[in-house]
């Protein structure tokens, strides 16, 4: 019975250790650098740009400094516990010491040095990450809206929404801004978090190292649908990027502008908020819809771009995205059918 109890106790005491070990294994599983699974692109332990690799270097430095300090402190603690433990039936207290100037100075000054080791690379990198971009950098004006992202390419002369395309191996100069509340731009494997603020342009420059699709998320609470304010960064080869940009710049064909679909678009007052270049729709309140049919998602990365989801969105935007600025236009099923096929045709 006694043997059983002691082995159970041993097992119980090993419990937390076992949990920690399993947690470590799970965390290691998260850090798959070559994963192309889109959900993995929210993993901050993998970097796919010069910017995020630098952040990981600083993170690594801090991690090893912390590991060294942890081992040092625990080592001294264990040594003290063992060396100064009560022996036998010792009843008297050891000599009581009060105050030690040298030690107090030591443990005040040492943390200052440790904090400096962390602060110097961190602060200098924050400044580095917003240094002026190179001459051939691709400039993107990124504006935070409630609750979507507007991406303007002044060098190419077009605007898009929620899906930012950039070429691998070429520097990108993001100019972050807002004309409403404060948002924050964050694509964990490509950029640091940086605020998008009204009345101020914040900069972030990065060069992606490989093609792929990366998730991003607004990282500053911006009211009702903050959690549903997502975006994607599609990193293309330079050739694919140029093709994409040339296509984005083209408006819809003239015939499209006179189609029944566009008439429905006008009739349902969509034109009051959205632009479709090549047509008379030129409003800039909602996302630019010129090539909306070619985007993989709608409603700022929340829904896959397919017929059922487009229907649900047009039927009642607020049900998809609480607080949505897009009103419920009380569209008939027939209007929705025409609009959905029109929007899907805008490739
Ligand atoms: Cu935009 Cu949170």
Whichever domain contains 142, its CATH number is 2.60.40.420
Asked which of 236, 271, 296 is the last residue of a domain, the reply is 236
Asked which of 210, 236, 262 is the last residue of a domain, the reply is 236
Q: Does some domain include residue 26? A: no
186: Cβ below 6 Å to ligand 1? Answer: no
Radius of gyration from C-alpha coordinates of the chain: 28
Q: Look at residue 153 in the predicted model and tell me its pLDDT.
A: 97
Residue 230 shares a structural domain with residue 119: yes
Residue 152 shares a structural domain with residue 64: yes
321 CA from centroid of ligand 1 (Å): 13
Q: Look at residue 224 in the predicted model and tell me its pLDDT.
A: 92
Atom nearest to 223 CA in ligand 1? 2
183 CA from centroid of ligand 1 (Å): 4
Question: Which of the residue ranges 44-53, 249-258, 312-321, 324-333 would you say has the lowest mean pLDDT?
Answer: 249-258
pLDDT above 80: residue 28: no
Question: Which of the residue ranges 29-33, 133-137, 160-164, 300-304 would you say has the lowest mean pLDDT?
Answer: 29-33
Give residue-wise pLDDT tens across range 128-179.
888 899 999 999 999 999 999 999 999 999 999 999 999 999 999 999 999 9
Residue 53 shares a structural domain with residue 190: yes
Question: Which of the residue ranges 12-16, 51-55, 184-188, 343-347 would you say has the lowest mean pLDDT?
Answer: 12-16
pLDDT above 80: residue 309: yes
147 CA from centroid of ligand 1 (Å): 7
Q: Give CA–CA dist 175/140, Å, rounded.
A: 6
Q: Does some domain include residue 160? A: yes
Atom nearest to 227 CA in ligand 1? 2
63: Cβ below 6 Å to ligand 1? Answer: no
Atom nearest to 220 CA in ligand 1? 2
Give residue-wise pLDDT tens across range 67-94.
999 999 999 999 999 998 888 887 888 8
206 CA from centroid of ligand 1 (Å): 21
224 CA from centroid of ligand 1 (Å): 9
Q: Look at residue 119 in the predicted model and tell me its pLDDT.
A: 93
Q: Look at residue 22 in the predicted model and tell me its pLDDT.
A: 61
Q: Does some domain include residue 261? A: yes
Q: Does some domain include residue 288? A: yes
What does the H/E/C string look like for 174-240?
EEEEECCCCEEECCCCCCCCEEECECCCEEEEEEECCCEEEEEECCCCCCCCHHHCEEEEEEECHHH
Residue 191 shares a structural domain with residue 160: yes
223: Cβ below 6 Å to ligand 1? Answer: no
pLDDT above 80: residue 320: yes
Q: Look at residue 268 in the predicted model and tell me its pLDDT.
A: 87
Total domains present in the chain: 2
176: Cβ below 6 Å to ligand 1? Answer: no
Residue nearest ligand 1's atom 1 by CA: 183
Q: Look at residue 128 in the predicted model and tell me its pLDDT.
A: 86
Atom nearest to 229 CA in ligand 1? 1
Residue 135 shares a structural domain with residue 185: yes
Residue 181 shares a structural domain with residue 265: no
Residue 196 shares a structural domain with residue 266: no
75 CA from centroid of ligand 1 (Å): 45
216: Cβ below 6 Å to ligand 1? Answer: no
Q: Look at residue 191 in the predicted model and tell me its pLDDT.
A: 94
Residue with more model confidence, 252 or 276: 276
Q: Look at residue 35 in the predicted model and tell me its pLDDT.
A: 63
Q: Average pLDDT of 98-122? A: 92
How far from 337 is each of 102, 160, 295, 309, 331, CA to CA, in Å? 80, 24, 19, 12, 10
pLDDT above 50: residue 235: yes
Residue 296 shares a structural domain with residue 330: yes
Q: Does some domain include residue 73? A: yes
Long-range contacts formed by 59-67: CB under 8 A, 24+ apart: 61/117, 61/121, 62/118, 65/114, 65/117, 65/118
Q: Look at residue 33 in the predicted model and tell me its pLDDT.
A: 60
Structural domain span for residue 122 = 37-77+103-236
Atom nearest to 196 CA in ligand 1? 1
Residue 308 shares a structural domain with residue 188: no
Q: Give CA–CA dist 47/31, Å, rounded.
A: 10
144: Cβ below 6 Å to ligand 1? Answer: yes
User: What confidence category does residue 247 fall into, taking pLDDT thresholds of 50, 70 and 90?
Assistant: very high
Q: Give CA–CA dist 246/3, Å, rounded.
A: 77
145: Cβ below 6 Å to ligand 1? Answer: no
Q: Average pLDDT of 38-45? A: 83
Task: Calculate helix-pair angle for 307-315, 333-345, nearest 10 degrees.
Answer: 130
Burial 82-121 (b: 16+ CB within 10 A, else e): eeeeeeeeeeeeeeeeeeeeeeeeeeeeeeeeeeeeeeeb
Q: Look at residue 258 in the predicted model and tell me its pLDDT.
A: 76
Q: Is 250 helix (H, G, I), strand (E, B) or coil?
A: coil
pLDDT above 90: residue 41: no
pLDDT above 70: residue 4: no
Q: Look at residue 201 in the predicted model and tell me its pLDDT.
A: 96
- Residue 148 half-sphere exposure toward CB, CA atoms < 13 A: 24
Atom nearest to 183 CA in ligand 1? 1
């Amino acid at each position: 019975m006694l043997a059983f109890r002691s082995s159970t106790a041993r097992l119980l005491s090993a419990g937390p250790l076992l949990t920690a070990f399993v947690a470590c294994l799970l965390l290691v599983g998260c850090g798959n650098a070559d994963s192309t699974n889109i959900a993995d692109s929210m993993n901050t332990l993998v970097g796919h740009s010069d910017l995020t690799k630098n952040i990981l270097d600083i993170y690594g430095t801090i991690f090893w400094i912390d590991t060294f300090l942890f081992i040092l402190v625990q080592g001294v603690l264990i040594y003290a516990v063992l060396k100064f433990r009560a022996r036998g039936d010792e009843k008297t207290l050891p000599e009581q010491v009060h105050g030690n100037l040298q030690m107090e100075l030591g443990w005040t000054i040492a943390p200052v040095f440790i904090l400096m080791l962390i602060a110097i690379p961190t602060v200098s990198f924050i400044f580095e990450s917003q240094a002026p971009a190179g001459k051939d950098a691709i400039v993107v004006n990124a504006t935070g809206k409630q609750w979507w992202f507007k991406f303007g390419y002044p060098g190419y002369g077009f605007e898009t929404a929620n899906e930012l395309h950039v070429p691998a191996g070429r520097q990108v100069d993001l100019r972050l801004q807002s004309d409403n509340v404060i948002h924050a731009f964050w694509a964990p494997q490509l950029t640091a978090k940086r605020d998008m603020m009204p009345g101020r342009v914040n900069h972030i420059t990065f060069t992606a190292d490989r093609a792929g699709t990366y998730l991003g998320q607004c990282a500053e609470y911006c009211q009702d649908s903050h959690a549903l304010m997502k975006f994607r960064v599609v990193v293309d080869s330079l050739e694919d990027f140029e093709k994409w940009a040339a296509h984005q710049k083209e408006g819809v064909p003239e015939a499209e502008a006179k189609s029944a679909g566009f008439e429905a678009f006008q009739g349902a007052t969509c034109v009051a908020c959205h632009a479709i270049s090549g047509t008379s729709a030129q409003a800039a309140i909602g996302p630019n819809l010129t090539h909306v049919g070619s985007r993989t998602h709608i409603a700022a990365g929340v829904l896959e771009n397919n017929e059922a989801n487009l229907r649900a969105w047009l039927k009642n935007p607020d049900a998809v995205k609480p607080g949505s600025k897009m009103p419920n236009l009380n569209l008939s099923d027939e209007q929705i059918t025409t609009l959905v096929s029109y929007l899907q045709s805008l490739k």
